[in-house]
Amino acid sequence: MDMRNITKITLAWELYEAGVHKQDIAKCLEVNRDTVRLWIQGVSRYGLLGFLDQYTRAKKGPRRGRQVDPILKRWIWKIREREMHCCGQKIAYFLEREHGVSVSVPKIYEILKEKWVVKSKWKKNQVRGYLPEVSSPREVVEMDTVDFGGLFAFTGIDIYTREVDVMMAPELTAEHGYLFLKRSMQRRFDGHVHLVQTDGGHEFKSTFKQHVGAYCDRHRIARPYKKNEQAHIESFNRSLRKECLGWTKYRLQEQAQCEELVETFLDRYHYHRPHMGIGMKPPLSRG
């Protein structure tokens, strides 16, 4: 027990009885004004000796941690597994939506650590590149590709709405890049956007480059080795692997199966899965 606090409580009461203002007492004793107020309330109610006795007993021994309802733990673990090991923010979203329970994100991570090793992927002090800023839909669409061995996924995202499109292709060529551009613009991005941004891969040159001007006002090539320039599409590519196709190497004969998996994933991504970048809402709404 820290005897300094016992002495401060006694001095605070003596100064208060002498007519010293609470704010001045707090400044003199180097404690918070609310702390002085609580001390004085306690002494006024129980007397100096009675309050000191209560204060001493309350400070003895370690405090027992609050017990978390086992049912709540099971809900959190179930959501984590069902939603492809999603983050704490998404778990909080589904808890509120499905069970009407509000739990802080730090508490959710505390519960997750009982069952899994949870590590932060954020790296500080990294040099980060240009990140496009948007204020409305169809301003910027980022495009990229993902290598799945014998198959390739062409991916695109509207960085404002987070609406996405994916096309599986047997080859990583500019012709397939153009087919994806044409299909995604017709199917997802209203036919025309202000800026299409890609990396410098050969799949976004030649035929793709000849036709991209018909679907956008400007085509920008992100600089290599600059983090954040393709941050939105890179993040989606990780989700595509983690929540849909995994890190498996697929064969050409499996293209139809992969396309079916992708379409199911896109439906879930657009209408069910909340996105942190747009206020914990799915990118699209059936309503």
At 139-160, the pLDDT tens digits run 999 999 999 999 999 999 999 9
pLDDT at 1: 42
Q: What is the DSSP letter of 190?
A: T
Strand ranges (DSSP E) for 113-242? 140-147, 152-158, 164-169, 193-198, 216-221
| Edge-to-edge strand list for the sheet holding 152-158 | 164-169, 152-158, 140-147, 193-198, 216-221
pLDDT at 226: 76
C-alpha 86/C-alpha 21 separation (Å) is 53
- % of the chain beyond a pLDDT of 70: 92
**Helices H, strands E: what count in the chain?**
11, 5
pLDDT at 4: 82
Q: Which amino acid is at 155?
A: T
Closest CA to 153 of 144, 162, 164: 144
Query: Which of the residues in the chain have pLDDT under 50?
Result: 1, 287
- Stated pTM of the model: 0.74
Q: Cα angle vertex 87, ends 86, 93, to 5°? A: 90
